Amino acid sequence: MPELPEVETVRRGLEPVMTGRQILTAQVNRPDLRWPFPPNMAGRLTGARVQALRRRSKYILADLSTGETLLIHLGMSGRMLISGAQAGNFHYEHPAPAKHDHVVLDMEGGARITFNDARRFGAMDLIDSATAEAHPLLQVIGPEPLGNSFDGPYLASRLEGKRSPVKTALLDQGIVAGLGNIYVCEVLFRAGIAPDRLAGALTRAETTGLVPLIREVLSDAIEAGGSSLKDYRQADGELGYFQHSFRVYGREGQACVTPGCRGTISRITQGGRSSFFCPICQK
């Protein structure tokens, strides 16, 4: 599933062709994805102008001139693809309609935004912009890890006394927004903390030290366009490249990248997910 860097990369790709532009026509090709689409979604989108395009955790939010916000979740395989737009020296022509093109937005200026989702685990909803943060999917989410409200004292207070592994705690969207399996593995490696350490047993220095490393890993991944594993593509259809910088994720049995370390990367299963780590560097 796309994590924060992938969703932010997609948002940044969509912004130039959506923000400030009117949705000239909206086409909805099925009644639902993971959940049913809202009633008359095509009619409610057609004619609306996108006033802002923002991200909350793993959701893209398009604030519309109609007072509604289009909420988008990419799910496991969802893609927001741009065609008919100029990107540098390249012009992306409209492709032929594909089997899993579920929602198509033709924008003022000639761009077409296509939501393609083969597995149909994605979602779209239209919600009241004034109360968007109270939406059931958003109201339980913790602070953004790249925002000012996420800092050392906050994280220390949330992890204090926790009996769950630190890996599990950092995946809790109620503690911090947008972190997923890949990036928590990478953060814990840089921090030298084993994924099965109890969150509440971390020292204050270890806990506060996680904050800059979380920001560092996420920023590096966004700069690289996210990580392309299986289905993920950027909005222009290109792959992300952060997977080439993985230090532990997916590297079971390979040598640790830390200079002088003789360890090999191990994998354990936590909560049904694979955790990759160096048993020598991470304690």
Reported as a single tens digit per residue, the pLDDT across 2-36 is 889 889 999 998 999 999 999 999 999 999 999 99
Question: Are 14 and 235 a contacting pair, CB within 8 Å?
Answer: yes
Asked if the model's pLDDT at residue 43 lies above 50, the reply is: yes
Tens-digit pLDDT profile for residues 259-278? 999 999 999 999 999 999 99
Architecture of domain 152-277: Orthogonal Bundle (1.10)
Per-residue pLDDT at 46: 98
What span, in angstroms and rounded, lies between the C-alpha atoms of 188 and 206? Answer: 10
**Domain 4-134 has what CATH class?**
alpha beta
Position 239 confidence tier, pLDDT thresholds 50, 70, 90: very low
Q: What is the model's pTM? A: 0.88
- The strand pairing partners of 52, in sequence order, are 63
Domain residue ranges in the chain: 4-134, 152-277
Point out the residues that are catalytic. 2-3, 58, 273
Contacts of 203 (CB under 8 A, 6+ apart): none
Per-residue pLDDT at 139: 95
Position 232 confidence tier, pLDDT thresholds 50, 70, 90: very low
What span, in angstroms and rounded, lies between the C-alpha atoms of 129 and 134? Answer: 10
What span, in angstroms and rounded, lies between the C-alpha atoms of 245 and 231? Answer: 18
Asked if the model's pLDDT at residue 242 lies above 70, the reply is: no
What span, in angstroms and rounded, lies between the C-alpha atoms of 258 and 247? Answer: 9
Tens-digit pLDDT profile for residues 174-231? 999 999 999 999 999 999 999 999 999 999 999 999 999 999 999 988 888 776 444 4
Q: Residue 152 — φ and ψ, nearest 5°?
A: -60, -50
3-state DSSP percent of the chain in helix, strand and coil, to 5: 30, 25, 45
Tens-digit pLDDT profile for residues 57-113? 999 999 999 999 999 999 988 889 899 875 554 556 777 888 899 999 999 999 999
Tens-digit pLDDT profile for residues 136-148? 999 999 999 999 9
Per-residue pLDDT at 91: 54
Per-residue pLDDT at 236: 55
Asked if the model's pLDDT at residue 115 lies above 70, the reply is: yes
Short-list 1, 3, 12, 4, CA closest to 234: 12
